Amino acid sequence: MSELLDTALQLDQNDPLKRYREQFYIPVDVQGKAKIYFCGNSLGLQPKEATRYLQESLDKWQSQVVEGHFEEPDPWVSYHKLLKAPLAHITGAHEHEVVAMNNLTTNLHLMMVSFYRPSGQRYKILLESGAFPSDQYAVESQVRFHGYDPEDAIIEVKPQPGQETLCIDDIVATMQKHQEKIALVLFPGVQYYTGQYIDIQKITEAAHQIGAKAGFDLAHTVGNIPLQLHDWNVDFAVWCTYKYLNSGPGNNGGVFVHERYANDTSLPRFSGWWGHDEKERFQMKKGFKPMYGADGWQLSNVNILSASVQRYALEMIARAGMENLRKKSIQLTGFLQSCIHEADPEGQHVKIITPTNPEERGCQLSMFVLKEDKKLFQKLTEAGIMVDWREPNVIRIAPNPLYNTFEEVYHFYEILKTTLHVY
């Protein structure tokens, strides 16, 4: 037995989270052999018990029809509240600061209506260069909506020459350089391409020091990195739930709004009836009265069938505990990093562009392919390894601590090493 395999088996044996793997459906090939799934950063696996939660809602719809909105257990009119406790745990927030609603880009637009308030010379948005289109396009359209040219109103921060990841000090320095002009600072928590974790607390503090609002796209962060959004004083954050939160393709997203805005009726917002005071919601009166907290940004009632699946997935993560998930995540990526170096010790074929410091990354390593172009990705796919390819030459590998094992990482190493030796 090789030393790496022995290490993998020992780590799996001592893994306090190993029982969670059995709670997911693992994809198989045509022969029924389990694939190695390292794409949780794009779409998490399906929890087995999600079917039961969904079926309960379907049964209620079948038997109670419209009365299901108010009949116990779990009336639909308040169903979104069942998601608040696990979301608060996962994001480090108070329950009134979080709500499940809409999708990520819709929520980002809603948040910018309230928190991007250009005035006078303070009208610019600070953004990472090469941001995911969810952010790029939303920001471009928002500044145009306010009458500005994106070429002028958007400031982008790039990695330093020869570097793949952002330097936090450069972000802060850019804020200070344009401190009289920046209205909003908007960054990801984990950068989708490199897997770099960007220090949310430090960016928030720097943004507030120059009088700007701080918002975050947590699509690749929520369920991946332990968060303390309330204590870090973040103004707002948005996320999707189908990656590390395993709630199903295209499922409802979520919003965090800091409690200092919980009762701030001076903030402009695009209002909807589900955000109206629930005591008066069905009186259909004129005059919008927002709910306290993040609930006041809701537009309409939540999709119950989607929320049913999301509910179980969130409750599972809360039971596992974000600190426990983070501990295993660091172990998984550390072991993966060692395996990649062992497979290509001279660095002739691949290069890891994700930070080597585990505190500066989530459960993803991005591997730049130097020679083999997309052939390496295709060989991995043919061998039953599910990773993803990002142009121009990056393979993203994301072992999820809820359902991936160290032995799977070892088998990835075996296939990678064998494939690289062919070239």
The string of pLDDT tens digits covering residues 123-166 is 999 999 999 998 999 999 999 999 999 999 999 999 999 999 99
Q: Which amino acid is at 119?
A: S
Residue 423 pLDDT exceeds 60: no
Query: Please, which pLDDT band fits residue 240 given cuts at 50, 70 and 90?
Result: very high
Residue 130 zone, left/alpha/beta (φ > 0; ψ -120 to 50; rest): left
3-state secondary structure 260-306: HHCCCCCCCCCCCHHHECCCCHHHCCCCCCECCHHHHHCCCCCCHHH
246/292 same-domain check: yes
Decide if 46 is inside a domain: no
pLDDT of residue 43: 98
Indicate which CATH number applies to the domain containing 399: 3.90.1150.10
43 in a structural domain? no
Q: What is the total count of domains within the chain?
A: 2
Helix (H, G, I), strand (E, B) or coil at 124: strand
Q: If you average pLDDT over residues 182-207, what whole number do you get? A: 98
Q: Are residues 15 and 157 in the same domain?
A: no
Which domain, by its residues, includes 208? 54-319
Residue ending a domain, among 294, 319, 344, is 319
Whether 22 and 74 share a structural domain:
no
Position 287 pLDDT exceeds 60: yes
Helix%, strand%, coil% for the chain, nearest 5: 45, 15, 40
The answer on 95 and 225 residing in a single domain is yes
**Which of 269, 292, 319 is the C-terminal boundary of a domain?**
319
Task: Mark whether 156 and 7 lie in a shared domain.
Answer: no
Residues 294, 226 share a domain: yes
Which one-letter amino acid corresponds to residue 302? Answer: V
Q: Are residues 327 and 315 in the same domain?
A: no
Give the whole-angstrom CA distance, residue 128 versus residue 126.
7
Q: What is the pLDDT of residue 212?
A: 98
Residue 94, domain member (yes or no): yes
Question: Is the pLDDT assigned to residue 202 strictly greater than 60?
Answer: yes
pLDDT score, position 340: 97
Hey, what are 71's tokens? 């009949």
Burial status of residue 321 (CB atoms within 10 A of its CB: 0-12, 13-18, 19 or more):
middle
Q: What average pLDDT does range 273-281 have in this prediction? A: 95
| pLDDT above 80 for 373 | no
Q: State the pLDDT at residue 209.
A: 98
Q: Could you tell me if residue 41 is inside a domain?
A: no
Same domain, 301 and 337: no
- Closest Cα to residue 404, out of 7, 8, 3, 5? 8
- Residue ending a domain, choose from 319, 342, 372: 319
Q: pLDDT tens, 29-49?
A: 989 999 999 999 999 999 999
Does residue 49 fall inside a structural domain? Answer: no
303 lies in the same domain as 388:
no
The answer to whether residue 194 is domain-embedded is yes
Q: Which of 105, 124, 109, 220 is nearest to 179 (CA)?
A: 124
| Average pLDDT over all residues of the chain | 96
The token pair at 38 is 């390292």
Q: How far apart are CA 260 and CA 343, in angstroms?
A: 51
223 found inside a domain? yes
Mean pLDDT (whole number) for 361-370: 96
Residues 287 and 349 in one domain: no
Residues 413 and 397 in one domain: yes
State the pLDDT at residue 379: 94
- Whether this prediction's pTM lies above 0.75 is answered by yes
**Does residue 172 sit within a domain?**
yes
CATH of the domain at 88: 3.40.640.10
Query: Are 262 and 116 in a shared domain?
Result: yes
Closest to 384 measured CA to CA, from 405, 347, 340, 415: 415
Instruction: Work out the average pLDDT over 184-188.
Output: 98
